[in-house]
Structure 1
Amino acid sequence: MDRRSRLRRLAGVGTRFLIVGGISTLIEVGAFNLFVYAFGWDLVVGKIAASLVALVNAYIGNREWAFRGRDRRGRVAEIVLFVAVNLVCTGLGAGIVWLGADVVEGMTGHAPGPAMVNLINLGSIAVIVLVRFVLYHYIVFRHTPKPAPATADTSRDA
């Protein structure tokens, strides 16, 4: 496959991944605000819980649409890898939210308000989108190249 075809295919997968991610982001932001501002949860706990809620949509959308043409390993193994990648990404996202809120508090002398917290949260999501795509592409929904077709042996012993 030539380079242009690979880039076109990657762009298609990337576009579908971003659409699934956009929907998952809306779910995550809505759940985050519900947990933090309606239920009064801690920022980090709210971030982790919201990420886990959005995870269900992300798995189904990515497995069945964005990466649908990829090899299917055993469902359990795939889910374990998906959850492992997302645990790492959720931890990284929560760390970014914690660090961002801490930096803002250190700079301003008071805890950030809802608008700033949501900006920090969206920034963490932007970073995590890139990390997730790479990990999904190369680890979770991997693409195994098809073996080259066997060629007929033309060097027969006579």
Structure 2
Amino acid sequence: MSQLSLIRDTYIRFQVLVHEVAKFGVVGAIGFVVQLGVQNALYPGHGVGAVTAVVIAYTVATLVTFVGNRHWAFKHRKGGGLGQETMLFVALNVVGIFIQVGIVYFVVHGLGHGDRLSYNIATIIGIGIGTMFRLFTYRRFVFRTPAAPASAEQLEPETSGR
């Protein structure tokens, strides 16, 4: 078996996962930009504390990422319906924010590094750990079962000229 066929066979085997992770990453990148933009607009200088700014920004980013994940990244999966998916998504994001806020709190208040660089580095580390948690839990609990693994939506849009 050539190395190219091994790569192709591995891709085919994990095609749905690869597409989900790629789309989850795009949605997450948009959420990341939203979060950093909102929190840096609020802290420092606008009377909003470091942790409060993270919570507000995280809430706004969560709304954006729920729409992106439900209607694009995990569109091909069957969940428990909008109500159940929303409740689970929110509950798991509460855990995710505790991961992120815990890291920011530790750096800003525990270590005393309240400067913008330390604050943003702590936020990025918290987002990274929280993202790994969310990817696993969204696939496992929120958007549970692939509707049709072999026909999952492709990353490229289909052309109508076929």
Give the TM-score normalised by the residue count of structure 2.
Answer: 0.79
Contact residue 27 and residue 68 of structure 2 kept, 8 A:
yes
SS at match of 1:134: helix
State the identity %: 28
1:40 to 41, 47, 53: 47
Task: Label 1:27 to 1:145 Cα distance change in 2 as closer, same or farther (>3 A).
Answer: closer
Question: Hey, what's the Cα distance between the residues in 2 that align with 1:122 and 1:8?
Answer: 28
Pairing of 1:1-158 with structure 2 (within 5 A): 5-105=12-112, 111-143=113-145
Which of these two proteins has the greater Rg computed from alpha carbons? 1
Question: Hey, what's the Cα distance between the residues in 1 that align with 2:146 and 2:30?
Answer: 28
**Unaligned stretches of 5+ in structure 1?**
106-110, 147-158
* RMSD across aligned positions (CA): 1.8
Aligned AA (1:41): V
Contact residue 48 and residue 91 of structure 1 kept, 8 A:
no
Post-superposition shift, 1:96? 1.1
Question: Hey, what's the Cα distance between the residues in 1 that align with 2:107 and 2:124?
Answer: 11
Partner residue, 1:153: none
Moved over 4 A (4+): none
Aligned AA (1:30): G
**Unaligned stretches of 5+ in structure 2?**
1-8, 149-162
SS at match of 1:41: coil
SS at match of 1:37: coil
The count of residues paired between Structure 1 and Structure 2 equals 140
Give the TM-score normalised by the residue count of structure 1.
Answer: 0.81
Aligned AA (1:54): A
Question: Hey, what's the Cα distance between the residues in 2 that align with 1:6 and 1:38?
Answer: 51
Contact residue 71 and residue 141 of structure 1 kept, 8 A:
yes
SS at match of 2:144: coil
Post-superposition shift, 1:103? 4.5
Post-superposition shift, 1:67? 0.3
* Structure 1 stretch displaced more, 35-44 or 133-142: 35-44
